[in-house]
Amino acid sequence: MRASVSLWSADQLALGAAVDALDGHVDGFHLDVMDGHFAPDLLFGPATVQAVAARARRSLVDVHLVLEDADRWIAPFAGAGAGMLTVYPECCADPAATLAEIARRGVRAGIALSLEADIEAAAPLVERADRVLVMGTAAGIKGVDPAPETAARVRRAAALGAREVFVDGGIREHTIGALAAAGADGVVPGSLVFGRADWLEGVRLVGAA
């Protein structure tokens, strides 16, 4: 499996060091953008994305819009250098149009499916997305295992013909095997990487799953 590492779990005073150390060793750098409404936290704006994009030469800048009005932020984050923008359908006026607008700007388009989302009902959007991000936990929650039904949801998303399926939330050494077996192409690890002295060891654990 591939790893798009969550910079939320990195030392916030040393994001540049994290990017320098992992660039080219990971699939991407995952930046959660939170507005304090859709998720109970505030995190990362266009300026941070721009700084990471200027530093990352070989890994995707993977921006996850965890906010209520995703449409308003497509242009600012695309302009800041996002290589992928992932949105929740419930946060877009017209999700299909939002995915098309992201693609029009030359950015890969992702769709995030929350714990409550009906996987099969999202089929028309899955077909339009470059990546389906299956959430294993509620948005903005850290430090817990994924919901028990996460692996089954991954299988269902893959069965719909998703180009690639990643899982975000609850990524632990003891959970990645089941996600890989269910058909996940990658995960968004946070503490699995940044919670150990050797960050690359965490990346290798994902790659070996």
Considering Cα of 133, then 62, then 186, then 135, what sign does the dihedral take?
A: negative
Of 27, 130, 168, 185, catalytic: 168
The residues that bridge with 84 in the sheet, in sequence order, are 62, 108
Catalytic residue among 32, 62, 130, 185: 32
Per-residue exposure over 85-102, b if at least 16 CB sit within 10 Å of its own CB, e if not: bbbbbebbeebeebbebb
> What are the CA-CA distances from residue 122 to residues 104, 127, 138, 146 (Å)?
21, 9, 18, 21
Residues contacting 9, CB < 8 A, separation 6+:
142, 190, 191, 193, 194, 195
- Other C-beta atoms closer than 10 Å to the C-beta of 160 total 16
Residue with tokens 């389906």: 132
* Annotation says 32 is catalytic: yes
- Residue given tokens 């941070």 in the structure block: 48
Q: What contacts 24+ positions apart, CB below 8 Å, involve 92-95?
A: 95/125
Active-site residues, by number, are 32, 168
